[in-house]
C-alpha cells in the first residue's frame, strides 16, 4: 500500500530497463563506488526452491528485479491494482518530479530526489 509516508521516504527514483516502470527507492546510491539502481536490480538474490536439495535450504539464485523495499510507482499508462487514492499520491509525486526536472524518462535512468 502506498501512503504519503511511503512517498516521503523516497530518495531515489529509477526507470527500470525491462518494462519502463518507475520505482522509488528509500535510500540514495553510493557515488563513491559508482553504484546505481541497476546494480541492485541485477544483483538481487532470492531462494530458489526448484534447485534446493531436500536436506539443504540455502541455495540462492540471481533473480533480477526490484528489492522488497522499493516502491512501484506505475508504468506509463498503467497503475496495476493501485487504488484511486494511491494513484493520486503517485501522480502528485511524479508531477513534482517532472516540474523539477527530476523525472527519469528513459529505461535505466535514475535520479536522486529530496
Distance, CA of 59 to CA of 104 (rounded, Å): 35
pLDDT tier at 77, thresholds 50, 70, 90: confident
- Give the domain extent around 82: 4-112
Give the tens place of pLDDT for each residue, 28-41.
999 899 999 988 88
- Looking at residue 114, its pLDDT comes to 76
- Would you place residue 17 in the very low, low, confident or very high pLDDT band (cuts 50, 70, 90)? confident
Number of structural domains found in the chain: 1
- The per-residue b/e assignment along 48-73, b for 16 or more CB within 10 angstroms, e otherwise, is eeeeeeeeeeeeeeeeeebeeebbbb
Query: What is the pLDDT at residue 56?
Result: 47
Amino acid at each position: 500500500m502506498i501512503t504519503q509516508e511511503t512517498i516521503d521516504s523516497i530518495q531515489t527514483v529509477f526507470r527500470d530497463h525491462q518494462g519502463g516502470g518507475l520505482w522509488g527507492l528509500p535510500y540514495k546510491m553510493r557515488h563513491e563506488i559508482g553504484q546505481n539502481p541497476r546494480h541492485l536490480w541485477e544483483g538481487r538474490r532470492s531462494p530458489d526452491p526448484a534447485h534446493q536439495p531436500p536436506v539443504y535450504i540455502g541455495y540462492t539464485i540471481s533473480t533480477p528485479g526490484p528489492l522488497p523495499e522499493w516502491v512501484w510507482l506505475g508504468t506509463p499508462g498503467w497503475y496495476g491494482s493501485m487504488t484511486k487514492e494511491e494513484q493520486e499520491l503517485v501522480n502528485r509525486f511524479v508531477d513534482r518530479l517532472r516540474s523539477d526536472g527530476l523525472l527519469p524518462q528513459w529505461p535505466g535512468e535514475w535520479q536522486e530526489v529530496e
